[in-house]
Amino acid sequence: MRAFVIAMESEAKVVRPYLREGDRLYVCGIGKVNAAAATQKAIDDGATEIFNAGVAGGFGEGISVGDVFEIDRAVEYDFDLSLVNGTGVGVHDERRSPYFQLVTTGRFPAKTLGTGDRFTDSTSDFPLLKSLGVEVRDMEGAAIAHVAERSGVPCMSLKCITNVVGGGAVGQFIGNLEQALERLSAALKEILG
C-alpha cells in the first residue's frame, strides 16, 4: 500500500485527485510529532511506501516562490545532543549522519530539507541551515523520513516553495499558498499522473 502523509487539508486537496486504488491518505496536522505519528500509523496499516507532498519555505540562492523540488535527504535541524555526546546537530543516537535519505525520480531538482518545529524567518537559524546544506525548510518532512527509515519503508517527498527566507515569511506564505498549491498539483500530475 502506498501511503500519503500530508500535513494540511489544503495540501491534501491537491493530492486526492492522484490517489489510486489501494492508496491511503493520512492528513496528520502540522509538526514533527503529528507527522511521525501518522507515518507510524500508515506503516502499521501496511504501507510499503510513504509519499509526502506539501509546501515549504526556501532557503538559498536561486530558489523562488513556486519552485518545486524533490527531497533527496532531510535533517531535523532542531534536534541537538551535541552537549551530551558530542554529535553534530541533527544526529540521533542510533545514527552517524544527520540526514535521512529519500527516494527521488529525477523529474525535479533534488534539495536537502531541514525540518523543525517552528515557523520562523529569524536570521539566527541561517548559519546552522547553511552548514547543514538546507535549501528547503518545513515542519514535517524529516520526521516522516525518520520513521520510514526506521521501518525500512521507502519515502519520497515533493515540496513547492511558498516563501523564501528574509522576506516576511508569514505574509509570503499566506499570499503565495494558492499559487504554490497549483504548482504542486501540476508536479504531482507529472510524477503520479
Q: What are phi and psi of 14, to 5 degrees?
A: -85, -15
Residue 80 has what pLDDT? 85
C-alpha distance from residue 60 to each of 40, 77, 104, 115, 137 (Å): 31, 16, 20, 15, 10
- Residues 141-169 have a mean pLDDT of 93
The per-residue b/e assignment along 149-179, b for 16 or more CB within 10 angstroms, e otherwise, is: bbeebbbbbbbbbbbbbeeebeebbeebbee
Residue 170 has what pLDDT? 78
pTM of the prediction? 0.94
Residue 171 has what pLDDT? 80
Residues making up the chain, counted from first to last: 193
Residue 95 has what pLDDT? 82
In CATH, what class is 55-192? Answer: alpha beta
The answer to whether residue 118 scores a pLDDT higher than 90 is no
Confidence bin at 175 (pLDDT 50/70/90): confident
The answer to whether residue 167 scores a pLDDT higher than 70 is no
The per-residue b/e assignment along 117-147, b for 16 or more CB within 10 angstroms, e otherwise, is: eeeebeeebeebbeebebbbbbbbbbbbbbb
Q: What is the pLDDT of residues 49-104, one digit of tens each?
A: 999 999 999 987 889 999 999 999 999 999 988 888 888 898 987 788 999 999 99
Distance, in Å, from the CA atom of 94 to the CA atom of 48, rounded to the nearest integer, reads 23
- Angle, CA 139 vertex, CA 67 and CA 90 arms, to 5°: 105
C-alpha distance from residue 22 to each of 19, 51, 173 (Å): 8, 14, 33
Residue 181 has what pLDDT? 96
The C-alpha cell at 163 is 516563501
Domains in the chain: boundaries: 55-192
Q: What is the pLDDT of residues 17-45, one digit of tens each?
A: 999 999 999 999 999 999 999 999 999 99
Average pLDDT for the chain: 93
The answer to whether residue 3 scores a pLDDT higher than 90 is yes
